[in-house]
Every structure is written in structure tokens, then in C-alpha cells.
């Protein structure tokens, strides 16, 4: 029997999802807005969705993306099965709630709270990326110091998901490149 590929592992997990959960999975996949087009997955089955995901995310990252989506739609059992199947197949996959490495944004929270100065444009970009709503944007913007605003970001929008932290990190790379480079060296 041929060894399992990440695509085969993903296909097996998607095949076992109930119709409603598979629809949620496709919807969440499109919500990510990182390369998957509606026409590629709308009305398609698990085989097509798996093929599209591998072509967009590569075999190296596709299982991590699938794990994130499954956990976002509260299919934790399927996400755990995915992690177990990946482990059995020998893939260097660290998905799952317990296996995740601490995100850069969390690792360097103290330094970021103390050092980030371009908070207004960061908030603008987070709002535009729909990481926060207008009300949260207004509440955080009204705080008196950059440190207070950063702490509020950590207590609110950045707690939502890894994806929120990823977007925040990308914004920091753009607006605070020297700080990020400095922290990467630590």
C-alpha cells in the first residue's frame, strides 16, 4: 500500500465531515481570503476542496490550515483525528490545541506592548482586515497611551484566533520592521 500523503489525510478527514460541517469548512476556507476563490470550492465535494487546498497552501502547510479551520468551526474531534492521522503517516505536523508552538506575537507580548509606536495605522489596518469591529476600534483608539492600546489589543482582538495574530504580525512587519527584526534576533 502506498504511503499516505497530506492530501490523502485531508481527503479522509473531509470525507467524514457531516454535510453541514463540510459547508462550514468551505465557508471558513473562503473567509481566510488567502488564495482560495469561491469558484474553486463552491458546490464542490471533498476531493475537489482537498485538491484546491493543496495547490494553494502546499502539502507542507495544508494540514495546519485544515486544523485551524476545523477548530474555528468547532469540529475539534475532526481536528484531533487529523492530527492523529498526520502523526501516524509521519508528517512533521504540530497542529492541535496542545501541540501548537507559541505564536511570535504572544512570545514577545511584553516587548511589543512597550515598543510599538505606530498604533493608529495598525488599528486602521486591523479594522480594514476585519480583525476588529468599529466599536472595538473606537474603544481602543480612545485609550490614552500606546501601551494601553496594545494591552487592549491583546485582551480583545488578538485572542480571537491564530489568524488574527498572523494578520497583526504581517502589519507589524510592514509598519515596525526594525522592531520585528530586533525581536527575531532574540
Is 170 among the domain residues? yes
User: Is residue 13 packed enough to be buried (19+ CB in 10 Å), middle (13-18) or exposed (0-12)?
Assistant: buried
| Burial call 63-72: b when 16+ CB within 10 Å, e when fewer | bbbbbbbbbb
Is 20 among the domain residues? yes
In the prediction, which pLDDT does 58 show?
A: 86
More confident residue, 107 or 178: 178
148 in the same domain as 77: no
Give the three cell numbers for residue 27: 465557508
Q: How confident is the model at residue 76 (pLDDT cuts 50, 70, 90)?
A: confident
Is 150 among the domain residues? yes
Structural domains of the chain, count? 2
Is the pLDDT confidence value at 10 over 60? Answer: yes
Is 83 among the domain residues? yes
Is the pLDDT confidence value at 11 over 90? Answer: yes
In the prediction, which pLDDT does 138 show?
A: 96
In tens, the pLDDT along 47-67 reads 999 999 999 888 888 888 898
| Burial call 78-98: b when 16+ CB within 10 Å, e when fewer | bbbbbbebbbeeebebebbee
Output the domain CATH number for residue 176: 1.10.533.10
In the prediction, which pLDDT does 98 show?
A: 44
Is 153 among the domain residues? yes
Is 41 among the domain residues? yes
130 in the same domain as 84: no
Indicate whether this model's pTM tops 0.85. Answer: no
Residue 26 domain boundaries = 6-89
Number of residues in the chain: 186
DSSP letter, residue 101: P
81 in the same domain as 141: no
> Taking phi first (over 0 means left), then psi (-120 to 50 degrees means alpha), and beta for anything else, what does residue 43 get?
left
In the prediction, which pLDDT does 135 show?
A: 94
Is 176 among the domain residues? yes
Could you tell me if 104 and 134 are in contact, meaning their C-beta atoms sit under 8 angstroms apart?
no
120 in the same domain as 57: no
Could you tell me if 53 and 34 are in contact, meaning their C-beta atoms sit under 8 angstroms apart?
no
Amino acid at each position: 500500500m502506498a504511503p499516505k500523503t497530506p492530501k490523502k489525510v485531508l481527503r479522509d478527514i473531509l470525507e467524514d465531515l457531516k454535510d453541514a460541517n463540510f459547508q462550514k469548512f468551505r465557508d471558513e476556507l473562503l473567509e481566510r481570503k488567502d488564495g482560495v476563490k469561491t469558484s474553486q470550492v463552491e458546490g464542490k465535494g471533498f476531493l475537489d476542496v482537498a485538491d484546491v487546498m493543496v495547490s494553494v497552501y502546499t502539502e507542507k502547510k495544508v494540514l495546519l490550515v485544515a486544523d485551524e479551520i476545523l477548530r474555528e468551526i468547532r469540529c475539534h474531534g475532526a481536528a484531533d483525528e487529523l492530527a492523529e492521522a498526520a502523526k501516524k503517516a509521519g508528517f512533521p505536523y504540530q497542529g492541535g490545541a496542545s501541540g501548537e508552538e507559541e505564536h511570535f506575537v504572544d512570545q514577545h507580548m511584553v516587548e511589543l506592548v512597550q515598543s510599538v509606536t505606530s498604533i493608529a495605522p495598525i488599528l486602521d489596518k486591523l479594522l480594514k482586515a476585519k480583525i476588529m469591529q468599529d466599536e472595538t476600534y473606537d474603544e481602543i483608539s480612545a485609550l490614552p497611551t500606546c501601551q494601553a492600546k496594545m494591552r487592549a489589543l491583546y485582551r480583545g482582538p488578538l485572542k480571537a484566533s491564530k489568524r488574527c495574530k498572523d494578520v497583526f504580525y504581517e502589519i507589524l512587519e510592514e509598519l515596525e520592521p526594525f522592531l520585528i527584526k530586533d525581536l527575531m534576533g532574540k
